[in-house]
Structure 1
Amino acid sequence: MSLWLAIVIFIGLAAVIGYAGTMLTKAADQLADLTGFGEALVGGILLGAITSISGIITSVTAAYEGQPELAFSNAVGGIAAQTVFLAIADIAYTRANLEHASASFTNLLQGVLLIGMLGFVILVMASESLTVFGIHPASLILILIYVFGTRLISKAKEHPMWEPQDTSETVEDVPDENNQPNVNLKLLIVRFTVLAGVVGVAGYYIAQTGIIITENSGVSASFMGALFTSVATSLPELVVSVSAVRQGALTLAVSNIIGGNTFDILFLAFADMAYQEDSIYHAATNSQLFIISLTILLSSVLLLGLLHRQKYGFGKVGWESILSILIFVIGYFLLYNM
């Protein structure tokens, strides 16, 4: 396949993924109301996992085909990109600062879990390489951390020990009565399954075209994964969050990003299982370490914004959103020149 054909297909697949993400938004909001789980849990776990399917397939495919840097950078770079997507959703919410209006104890816990899992990955990268049947034990531990953490968050939602202060701009996560009647739960689940398949197939071919572009354009695998494939496979999160904001499902918008980011770290565990040569954590370079550090910084800024809860900010956009965009742009400029 020629470079230009790969670029055209790459853009087309990105559009497919973005369209599928749009269709997921309303269904996710309906599921949150019908099941009683709430927007934070549905957005953070179910929707976050489904919109991450394309990214999983991209990282696993790249790892299996001997492109560990592309696989690693796509996984962590997607988290950085999606954090900036939340800043875009904040800009789309013109009434107030999105992080203020969507105050949620569950989202705060998701953010803490995210930073903890990223820190664990750095510990593994700094340790000696170890594989058992071709898999690093840390990959299994990473999955256990995610399962334990999400279970803890689920219990905390039922019996919260901390609650944000309500203000005139706080939008509570309460069931929308318009989502209740004439909605078939089974049909909703079928829709989710079909959309997951579409996004998954598109994600596989995004990986293929991403590898071709990397090999023929002179762009490094680290930068290609950290920016292009990660942004393309993260388009569902952007579309879902902006759509959720416009529909008034603010908690869903934020939890989709933070919860999706937490799930995205598992890309590394799945990619490690697919990588044939050694531990994918130890096939990483300083570029991947730089991306993880940048992602922790972005996540910390977001978490501070969720705790500080600035009500309006410049142009009704929170300081954390503006700072996140600046950090992202400067960070990727430095990464490109590494």
Structure 2
Amino acid sequence: MTYILLIIGFALLIKGADFFVDGASNIARLLRVPSILIGLTIVAFGTSSPEATVSIIAALEGNADVSLGNIVGSNIFNLTLVVGLAAFIYPLKVQTETIRKEIPFTLLASVALLILMSDVALVGFGDNLITRSDGFIFLLFFAVFMYYVIEVALKSRHSSSDESVPRNVKWGKNVLITVIGLAGIIIGGDMVVTNATEIAYALGMSEALVGLTIIAIGTSLPELVTSITAALKKESEIALGNIVGSNIFNILFVLGASSIISPLAVNTKMYIDIYVMIILTVVLLIFSRTNYRIGKREGMLLAIAYIIYLVYIIIRN
């Protein structure tokens, strides 16, 4: 039965992502804003809802390793395998604003996380914690990011106000399709994580390994499926915006909310993963600057990087 539910979960994920991308791209046209902004907001926040659910529940239960590990593991998965596979399917065009502002903002969020969790190194005593005050700092950064996105969206609307929208593109239909797609993504993602975890425990995998692999990968499946679906539909701006927006949302909002609920103790092993995440964000920025696109070759390198990282954490744990 577990295997059947796993297959149903994957089916819901794939079909949900199909609806979600179609609905979201049409909403962008109706709002007269660039697809990248819809990717950075509606799509990114929607596909990050599993990470938010898992991390906040883990924080409520006092399980800091799961809460922090899920976010860092998911972001590394997004930067490597999700970008890699999407780019391999269809080269991802990168806008100037994404290179100048959005990817650097992701890097800023990652560096802020490293600084705020390094209490012992900076103060010289105590424990490494992401405290409630750190959580409020993350949420303030998130508010700044949202202000930037809204401002860009309003400017884009004014500059494209004369563009016509096809008559067959209707608000009601596309909002409904987007909501149904998001529901399919969330329910399907939850089914995949729950049943894959059960199978992993039955096969004798440790809790730490399950958290770093199954849970992190499972909660990132919506991003993976949505970005691949967007790439197949040649909506490369939604594919890339989804990944960048999800990583920002994961660190600033999810970790911010989680640490406000309950301060998160930091496992010393996690520092290596944070460094990996920061290095990969820099690599994404470098790849984006080459001809303003992430091509098949770069995509393959990123996918291989995730396989190497996965082998490393399996050996480490």
> Secondary structure of 2:169's partner?
coil
What residue is the counterpart of 1:328 in the other structure?
Answer: 306
Structure-1 residue corresponding to 2:296: 317
Counterpart of 2:123?
Answer: none
Is the alpha carbon distance of 1:58 and 1:330 closer, same or farther for their aligned partners in structure 2, counting shifts above 3 Å?
Answer: same
For 1:138-171, what per-residue CA distance to the aligned partner results, in whole angstroms no more than 9, with x for missing partners? 11211210220232355457779xxxxxxxxxxx
Matching of residues 2-41 of structure 1 within 5 Å: 9-10=5-6, 12-41=8-37
Gapped regions of structure 1 (runs ≥ 5): 161-172
Q: Look up the match of 2:117.
A: 125
Task: Say which of 85, 89, 111 aligns to 1:88.
Answer: 85
User: Which of 116, 130, 133 is the aligned partner of 2:108?
Assistant: 116
Show the 5 A alignment for 1:177-326: 180-204=166-190, 208-209=194-195, 212=198, 217-265=203-251, 266-275=253-262, 279-280=263-264, 282=265, 284-309=266-291, 317-318=296-297, 320-326=298-304
Contact 1:110 1:153 in 2 (8 A): no
Q: Structure 1 residues 308 and 48 mapped into 2: Cα distance closer, same or farther (>3 Å)?
A: same
Distance in 2 (CA, whole Å) between partners of 1:208 and 1:111 is: 32
| Cα offset, 1:223, TM superposition | 3.2
> CA-to-partner distance for each residue in 1:47-102, whole Å, 9 max, x for gaps?
10011112211222233334322222221211111122111111111xxxx24x33
Letter in 2 for 1:147: A
Q: Which amino acid aligns with 2:227?
A: S
Q: What is the percent sequence identity of the aligned residues?
A: 18
SS in 1 for 2:167: coil
TM-score (norm 1): 0.77
> Is residue 33–residue 153 contact of structure 2 (8 Å, CA) maintained in 1?
no
Aligned residues: 305
Instruction: Compare the two structures and name the one with the higher helix fraction.
Output: 2
Cα distance change on mapping 1:221 and 1:147 into 2, 3 Å = farther
Shift of the alpha carbon at 1:229?
Answer: 1.9
SS of match in other structure, 2:95: coil
Residue deviations 1:89-145 (CA, integer Å, cap 9, x gap)? 11111xxxx24x3334135422111111111111121125699xx961111211210
Contact between 1:18 and 1:235, CA under 8 Å: does it hold in 2? no
Deviation, structure 1 residue 308:
2.2
**Is the Cα contact below 8 Å between 2:133 and 2:260 reproduced in 1?**
no
Aligned match of 2:75: 79
RMSD value, Cα: 3.3
Does the 8 A contact of 1:14 with 1:232 survive in 2? no
1:62 and 1:211 in contact (8 A); partners too: no
Secondary structure at 2:269 match in 1: helix
- Asked if 2 retains the 8 angstrom alpha-carbon contact of 1:130 and 1:137, the reply is no
CA contact (8 A) 1:73 1:223 kept: no
Match of 2:60 in 1: 64
TM-score when scaled to structure 2? 0.82
Question: Within the alignment, does 1:106 sit opposite 2:92 as a pair?
Answer: no
Going from structure 1 to structure 2, the CA distance change for 1:337 and 1:291 (only over 3 Å counts) comes to: same
CA deviation map 1:307-336 (0-9, x unaligned): 122779xxx624x32332232222221111
